[in-house]
């Protein structure tokens, strides 16, 4: 059926009902490094998907991360036939207890809460779209699988193989990460690399024998300045986490640093990786170790991605709005599927702002149009 006339575009979505369903998800705090908390969120989402009639599988976590949930919806073609993969994560950057400082709160057209924008809001919209379609007897054109992962916020080190295996069986991948500031979607993402650095100095008593010590913290501070000074328009470097020392009256033996590098082109990131791995200590008395961490490959839009975008844009216009597309920084699991050549469209989630901050919020006005867009895609992608 023509997407412009499909009944999925007229389903009776209600913003208040969406918010009522989303609130328990947001209030179930699920920071990446708290596997038990993430698993509580997986329990909540898995039960909801089972109630919708999906065949829900729990996939045990590894590397100390939480579990994943895979939900396959029944379809006349068989739920294992190539179809649409909804790829989303339920881990957040906010530690347990953040809810006390930023509780669920509606202020006019905005709703605040930890993880509501990145990306529980968009994930819930995908579930709500499938719920409304089932209630109305509107079938999806292809089988739909939802994969909910547990470690995206730290680069998906334990789930990349699962993501790529599932995507290889899909015809399309939809990622309900937050919409762009103008309401547009994401058709490509920059390459990203993470690094772990450690300096090792010589301890001494900071009061009695200060001159005998060699501070790992001081050397790492020098490295931070040198690393961030390497930033150019083609490749950026950012020091995000630093830890060092144990006692204030002891010259620090160790200091650890986490660095993120991002580039629009893979070649630029590769050059940046070489520069990072070639770093040397500024003093012979303090050792420096640089290890490469998780890497997300560059995802550049091809003809298949652009065809998928144009299809989505046609649906949006039929609903009454337009969507632009752009390549974007801030990696997602769409980096992996897009780099595989699977037609992928990202940024299909809610409108809002403040991701990863205590100002995180969504725009209520975006809920119904974005839910209709997702329903239209589920109903017409074939």
- Whether residues 274 and 204 share a domain: the answer is yes
Residue 45 CA to residue 80 CA, distance in Å, equals 21
Residue ending a domain, choose from 296, 315, 336: 296
User: Quick one: average pLDDT of 38-67?
Assistant: 98
The answer to whether residue 2 scores a pLDDT higher than 60 is no
pLDDT (average), residues 15-42: 98
Residues 6 or more apart whose Cβ sits within 8 Å of residue 112: 102, 103, 104, 105, 106, 359, 360, 361
Residue 371 vs residue 78, higher pLDDT: 371
| Mean of all residue pLDDT scores within the chain | 96
Same domain, 375 and 318: yes
Same domain as 321, residue 273: no
Which pLDDT tens digit goes with each residue over 292-349? 999 999 999 999 999 999 999 999 999 999 999 999 988 899 999 999 999 999 999 9
From 80-84, 132-136, 203-207, 267-271, the region with the lowest mean pLDDT: 80-84
> Does the pLDDT at position 144 exceed 50?
yes
pLDDT digits (tens, 9 = 90+) for 177-206: 999 999 999 999 999 999 999 999 999 999
Same domain, 218 and 234: yes
Domain that holds residue 210: 191-296
The CATH number of whichever domain residue 75 belongs to comes to: 3.40.630.10
User: Are 8 and 116 members of one domain?
Assistant: yes
Residue 267 backbone phi and psi in degrees, to 5: -60, -40
Confidence at 1, pLDDT banded by 50, 70, 90: very low
- Percent pLDDT > 90 in the chain is 96
Number of domain units in the chain: 2
């Amino acid at each position: 059926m023509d997407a412009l006339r499909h009944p999925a575009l007229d389903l009776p979505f209600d913003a208040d009902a969406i918010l009522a369903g989303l609130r328990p998800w947001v209030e179930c705090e699920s920071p990446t490094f708290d596997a038990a908390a993430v698993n509580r969120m997986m329990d909540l989402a898995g039960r909801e998907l089972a109630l919708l009639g999906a065949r829900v599988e729990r996939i045990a976590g590894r590397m100390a991360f939480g579990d994943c949930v895979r939900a396959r919806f029944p379809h006349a073609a068989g739920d294992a036939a190539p179809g649409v993969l909804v790829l989303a994560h339920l881990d957040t950057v906010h530690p347990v207890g953040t809810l006390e400082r930023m509780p669920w709160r509606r202020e006019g057209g905005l709703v605040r809460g930890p993880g509501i924008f990145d990306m529980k809001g968009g994930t819930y919209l995908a579930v709500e779209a499938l719920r409304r379609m089932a209630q109305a007897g509107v079938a999806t054109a292809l089988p739909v699988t939802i994969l909910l992962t547990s470690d995206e916020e730290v680069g998906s080190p334990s789930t990349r193989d699962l993501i790529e295996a599932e995507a290889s069986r899909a015809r399309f991948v939809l990622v309900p990460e937050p919409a762009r500031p103008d309401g547009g979607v994401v058709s490509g993402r920059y390459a990203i690399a993470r690094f772990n650095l450690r300096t090792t100095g010589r301890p001494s008593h900071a009061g009695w024998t200060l001159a005998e010590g060699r501070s790992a913290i001081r050397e790492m501070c020098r490295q931070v300045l040198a690393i961030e000074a390497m930033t150019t328009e083609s490749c950026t470097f950012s020091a995000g986490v630093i830890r060092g020392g144990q006692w204030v009256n002891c010259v620090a033996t160790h200091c650890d640093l986490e660095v993120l590098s991002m580039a629009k082109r893979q070649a630029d990131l590769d050059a940046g990786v070489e520069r990072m791995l070639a770093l040397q200590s500024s003093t012979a008395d303090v050792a420096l170790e640089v290890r490469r961490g998780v890497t997300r490959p560059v995802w550049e839009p091809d003809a298949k991605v652009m065809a998928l975008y144009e299809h989505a844009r046609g649906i949006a216009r039929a609903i009454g709005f337009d969507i632009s597309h752009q390549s974007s920084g801030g990696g997602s699991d769409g980096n992996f599927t897009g780099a595989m050549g699977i037609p992928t469209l990202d940024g299909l989630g809610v409108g809002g702002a403040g991701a990863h901050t205590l100002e995180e919020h969504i725009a209520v006005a975006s809920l119904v149009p974005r839910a209709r867009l997702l329903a239209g895609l589920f109903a017409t992608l074939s």
